[in-house]
Every structure is written in C-alpha cells, then in structure tokens.
Chains A and B, each alone.
Chain A
Amino acid sequence: MQIFGVLLPEKDRLLSYFGQFKQGKGGLVVYLALLGVVVGGFGVGSIFFRGHGETINTSSLVPWGLQISTYVYFALVSGGCIFTNFFGNMFFHAKYKPLASRVIFMGLITAIAGFTALASELGHVERMYFFILSPNPTSPMFWMSVWYTADITILLVEYVNIQRNKHSKSMLYVSFIIPVITYVSLGSLFGAVGTMPYYYSSLLPVYFLFTGFLSGNALCAIIAAYQFKTSGGFNSVRPFFRMQKIALASVFVLTFCRNIIGIASNLSGYVIFRETFFVNVVFGMGAALVIPFIILMYRRTLGGLVLSSLIVLLTQFMARLDLVVEGFRVPVFRVYDMPERISYFPSIYEMLVVVASVSIVAMVYIVCEKTGLFEIAGKETH
C-alpha cells in the first residue's frame, strides 16, 4: 500500500516542510509541540528507564493516577472523534464531508497518544504479549484491549478509505459500532468494579460514551473552526454547535445521575459523593458543562465555539482525573498512619506524560495539516 500520499503526506511536501522547519519557518505551535514531545518524551523515558518508584506518585492506595486518566481522556477523545464522524456523516452529510479525514485522523492519533500514557503506567509494559499468550476472557481490561486494537485497525482502514476516496456506508457503520463497543468496555472496566463505589455503576459505560462524544466533538469543533476560519465556510461549522449542545446536555444529565445516586447511597465508600458534591456541582457540572452550553447559546460565532470547546477539553480532562482518582479517596482498609482521606498529587513525570501525549497529537496533526495530508482526499473528489 502507498504510504506517502495516503497514510502520510506526500514525500516532497514533507521534505519541503522539513526544509522550512529547519529555517525556523515551521510555525510557532509546531516548535512548541516539538519541545513538548522532547520534554514529554524525556518524562516517559524516565518513567520507563528509572522505574515508577523514582518517578511517579501512584501507590497501593492510589493505584491509578494521572497516567490512567490521561489514557482514558485520550481514548475517549478518540472515541468522540469517531462519533462526531458518524453523526456528521449521518446528519450533516455535505457540510461535514470536508472534515472527515481530519476527524478520523485525529481519532487515530489520540488513540495512539492515549496508549502512550497507558504504557507508561504499566509496571511491566514489556510483558504486554501476555494479552495474546494468556488472555483472560472474564477481564474487562482484556476485552478493552481487544476492542481497542480492533478500533485502531478499523480507524486505520476507514482513514485510508477516506484518503483514497473509497468511503463506504457500511464501513461507516462498522467504524461506529466498534468504537461504541470499545468505549463501553472501557466504561465497564471501571463500572464493573463492584468494590469501588465511585466507579461501580451501570451508568458508567454510557457516561463514558457521552463524555467521549463531548470531548471528541470539542476537539473536532476546534479543528473545524480552524479549518473554516481560513476557508470561510461557516456553514460547515454549524453542525458542531448543535452536536456540542447535545453532548453537553447529555453529559449533564448523566453526571447529575451519577452524583444523585452517589449521595443517595448509604454504603460506606459512597461518602465520597457527598464530600465532593459541591465541587461536582459547581465545577463538574457548572463550570464544565453549563458555562460552555451558555456560551454556545449566546455566542453563536466561531470564537464562541472555540472558547466553549477549549473549556470542554480542559474540564473534561480534569473530570477524567477526578473520576479515576477520587475513587481511591476513601481508603478501603484504613490502618496505621493512613489518613482518613487519601490525597494524591501527580509527580512532574506524570505531568510530562500528559505533555507528551498532548504534544504528539498537536505536532503530528499540525504537520500533517501543513503538509496537505487532508487535501489528498479532497483532491480526488474535485
């Protein structure tokens, strides 16, 4: 299969961009992203080569921290891109079309960025082959990995199809169904843990789907805005207003449900819902969902969309961290000097993992954009 010109930009455009880049004309964001990749890469490398003991702050009490939440975040963004792609195709066909390859590509690279974060969290990444040699069909994590692999494969196929303008409807459905299953299994990875009140809920898989849609859509909205700022096709941005509002509203409802169930429950570990209720309402729902919604209602401009989307991307990142970490706040078996509430603050290396993931996404995307990768699909149509 052709790599340059389909999967990657044309070779000569890449080379010429590389030339510009060397002369300092690569675009500020790309340099920043490169710096991010280098520094973040150093962080990931440190975790890998120096070991968790010296680099990360997760522990037996907080076994999952920023790396896992970053993984979940990017995985859900990836999923969200696919949903956007699906709904875009289904409901806003023509308006959406020019964006399709970008959105799918974004879905791909965020999935990969997410995996980077996940890999840095595992105690022994090098043993991942046991997923194949010694699979456990009862494990949601096993299934998650199966579907995740399928998801990336499908995305790749879909992406190549779009790039080669061989997009088919059936493929569109498959590339919707597989991610749905993938992110439902990611949701159930948490939701099925009967021992963790903060996770345990049949709502969680659905919650994951919708938060994924929300954050992925927000990212796509920014891409769309960026795209149409240059090309001036405001019409093509319109769908994002609507999709974003739907996403915000549905996540609002689900967040509300989760919290209400939480505070209404009387099991020991559920106190955490009561203790975080205020924060959850003010920030988790108010700042993270209501404000972006209001912005969309009253500022129906590109700027409004971008602002709303940025807020969503940021607050959803925090919401993922909150979801993962707050689960451990009430110690399961409190003994010795253990505090009543466990606190966790990520180490600099953990933060660098985030930097790495974000920078990879930003750099790859912008370079590909600049070198005309997404024009390939377009070219063949016109």
Chain B
Amino acid sequence: MKKCKATGLAVMAALAAAIGLILSGCAGSKDSGKSGAVKEPYRVGAVIDISGSSSSLGIPERNTLEMLRDKINAAGGINGHPLELTILDNKSDETEAVLAVKKLIDQQKVLAVIGCSSSGPSMAMIDTVQKEQVPMISLAAAGKIVEPARERKWVFKTAQSDAVTVSRLVSYLKEKGLMKVAFLYMNNAYGDGGKQAFLEAAAAAGLQVVDEEKFEATDKDMTPQLTRVKASGAQAAVIWAIPPSASIVTKNFRDLNLNIPLLHSHGVGNQNFIDLAQGAADGTILPIGKLTVADQIPDSDPQKKVLASYIDEYSKRYGSPPNSFGGYAWDAFYLLVDAIEKAGPDRAVIRDRLEKTRDFIGVSGVFNMSENDHNGLKEDSMVLVRIEGGRWKLLQ
C-alpha cells in the first residue's frame, strides 16, 4: 500500500514536470520572442470527405491543410496566434457533414469552417453556417453552393463553379462543330449541378443535347447508359462524374468502341482517374486548373510561382505531386488566413474581408470576390487538357 502511494506520487511529479516542459516548449516556439505570453490560439475547423465515395478528393485536401497548418505555425501563426485546425471526416455523407460542422461550431467555437470536398455534403452544411453566422469556404464545384449570393451570405468556395467549366467545354465543342452531344452525369449534387449548367450553356450556344443519362456513384457497369448514347447518334459525349465511377464509365466507353470524342469535367482532375481507368483515359479532353499542367504553362502566367512552390512543398512532404483538389484546399486555407490576419477573431469581419478579396493569386486561379460572386474565378482559371499516354497535355 505504502509503495503504491509512493509510485503514485512519483508519477504525478513526473506528469507535472512533463506538462511544465511542454508548456515552456510551446511558449518558446510559438511566440518567436515577441511579447512573452502565449497568445490565444485561433480555432478553425474543416469538414472533409476523407473516407467514402469522395475520398479521392478529400485525402489530398486533408494532406494540404495539415501541411499548411504546420507551416504557418512553424512561422509563428497568424499575427502571433497559433492556428488550431480541427479536421473532421464526413465519410462523404450529408448527415455526417452536418453533425461535424455543428460539433465544430458548438464545441470548438471555430472562427470559420473549410469544407466539404464534394457538393452534396457542402450543400447540407449551408443551413447550419447561415443560421450560426459562421463563414464557410467550400471546396466543391456545384455553383448553387454560393448562388444566389444573397441567400449565401456566409458561404464561399474555391473550386471553379460549373458555369466556368461548362463554358470552356461548350466553346470547345462549338469550335469543333460537334453540335449533337450526349450528356452523362452521376446521380448526386455534383452531377446535377453540372447537368443544369451544361444544359443552360448548351442551349444558349445552340448545341443539341440528344441524350441525357445518369448513373450512381457506386455503379460498376455503365454499359446500358452508353448503349443509349451509341444509339442516339451523338457526335460527342460529355461526362460529369468523379472517380471511381468516372473511370469505370470511361472504360465501358472504350469497350463499346464509341468512336466519338469524350469530354470530362474537372471532377476527374487527378492521377487516380487515369490509374483506375487502366489506359482507357487516353484521348479524354477536360478542363482543369493550371496546377496539373504547371510545367507546361508559360512563365508569364501570374500563378506560375504559387503553383511551383505548392508542388514543391507538397511533393517533399508526401512523396507525390498534389492535384487540383489539394489546390482548392490551399486556396481556402490562405483566403481564410488572409482574412483572419486582417480581421482578427471576429466571424462577421472575417466574412466581410473574404467578400472583399481582390487579385488573390491562388492555386486554382486569381480570385476576385464580390457581393454577387462568392467564388471569384473566371474562365481564364481553367485550361483544356487532353490525356495522352497517361499524362496531361495542355491543349492549345
């Protein structure tokens, strides 16, 4: 009994010493010799699709956020305040996303939220952040996440909206004289958003959509849908999906020997798509952020420097180059850091600063936000690429 007590005391003493050490260590590193006392950390949350059907998007985003958090804290934080970033996994599920964002707001009292990776969960979180008045920066594509802007006061996003991507594709189709088009999309918020934007833009440009097909994110065989495309007499096919279903439909497309041009959305802008399609991706044309072809864009491009440093840092830490999705996270992170730096720990002021973002050179493009545009990217933020021999080739 006596011995037990003695051990207990020793453990407590050791713990106290350890805590003391950690505290002094923190103070030393984070304060970088300014005023002495540790400043209150700034809390920021992220809800990312780390597992589940959108994990190919979420994992590079999480990696990027973790890398940037460490980088900024090593450099002394935001105005001397360490940045505390909590990243939660929404399992690619709408309900999980809402639970996660409520947890971040109620328990962590975060200043702002980054996320989600895909459109469905992002849409699901909007009600909560609007009600709680917390700025949110989504990394997903669907335009309706930030539109109409007056109903989305607190919501911003960094991925190019569907309208931007679509106009790139439609002008390409028109230029090549491919006026009869089949449109295939995955049955979720991303696919629906793409469909709406594409149908509008196509009608405006005089393109005729001869066939519309949808498939589930978990489907393993899209031959039936493609059979209809083949029968429809379309001159080109546009697919709005993300891997793995985007890869499977591309494989089916080649197997069916459909000899028409195949265009994808920016949702397939990662190496994963090419690997999973096992060679079928060759010849596919898609609009994409400049990151993927950073080595092929001219030096005069304003984004060139940002792109090069992001690629360099990410590859060093994770051993593989980043992709556009990680780029969306990079933009969201620095847009937010930028706003917090100027605004301080006040949600409303941070929101106002985000809306006033001008000429912010990011990975996905040059951001110019406004009251009516909470995305801030224009058509020039994207380039068209063709996949050749498993690599991205800039299309002139």
Q: Do A and B bind each other?
A: no
Spell out A's residues near B (CB within 8 Å).
Answer: none
Q: Which residues of B contact A (CB under 8 A)?
A: none
